[in-house]
Amino acid sequence: MENLLPPVIILLCVVVIVVLMLRRGARRSKSSPEGALAGGPEAAAAASSRLSEDQHRMVYSLIAQGLTVQAIAAYRQATGARLIEARNAVLLMDRYPQSFSSPAAAQAEPVSDAETGQPSTGSLTRPGGGPGESTTTEPAKEPSERTEPEITPSTPVVPQQREEAPPSSAQQPKVPATFGERSSTRYPYRYRAIVSNGRQTLEVASNLLNDEIYGEIKALAQIGDAEDAAQMLWRHSDISIEEARAFVELL
């Protein structure tokens, strides 16, 4: 028995050392940026859900300006998280952008046409109108066929000119007439606005935007003035008016 005691002690020491090394490696993997991003979009959504709307906007505003350290500090102040936990949350929210959604908004989320099996109506919300109002474009009408006069030997032939049908409204290019000019005020940073409804995520990055302008755009969209919100977003970005309307629809 005395001869077996030293090998047993050595074996126990080796086991203890191996366990300590494995635990240290697990802690390092969790504290590394790669380990933080392993949680994926689900972890990013969980981190984002701990913020209020104002806190969510502030953190993403700092991320959009490249101020990661300030964003981590803002997240810690808002949630009371530890430094590593706050850093992992900011990295996840930067890699997998999340839009703010309150629990009430999540419950009232409309069911998509794909889930109900109904054909899409392609409706757009207009100021003063409901979501059921849709904009349809009628196909261009072909010019009616002209009946040539019957020719008889006693009737002289007079050549007739065909009148070309004017281009229909669907063929004419859509030019914004009342949108005004794009803003000429450029800020030293590129503002990044992200919006999502859970199925689709859109992003606008422009140095014509800032927190105050984006707040006004969002306020217009929330009170139902979607067209004015889209025009304001168009004036303070480099996107088309159709892209601006699609972005406002998700606000």
**Contact in structure between 96 and 87 (CB atoms under 8 Å):** no
**Rounded CA gap, 219 and 245, in Å?**
15
Residues 21-28, mean pLDDT to the nearest whole number: 65
Q: How many helices (H) and strands (E) does the chain have?
A: 11, 2
DSSP state of 90: H
Residues 122-134, mean pLDDT to the nearest whole number: 42
Query: Which residues 6+ apart lie within 8 Å of 216 measured at CB?
Result: 232
Q: Which of 34-48, 84-98, 139-153 has the highest mean pLDDT?
A: 84-98
**Contact in structure between 249 and 125 (CB atoms under 8 Å):** yes
DSSP state of 163: P
Q: Has residue 165 got a pLDDT over 70? A: no
Token match 């196909």: residue?
139
More confident site: 189 or 154: 189
Token match 């490249």: residue?
66
Quote the radius of gyration of the chain (alpha carbons, Å). Answer: 31
Question: Residue 42 has which token pair?
Answer: 């689900």
Average pLDDT, the chain: 74
Report the predicted TM-score, pTM, of the whole model to 2 decimal places.
Answer: 0.34
Confidence of residue 140 (pLDDT cuts 50, 70, 90): very low
Q: Which of 37, 85, 79, 89 is nearest to 55 (CA)?
A: 79
Exposed, middle or buried by CB within 10 Å (0-12, 13-18, 19+), for 54? Answer: exposed
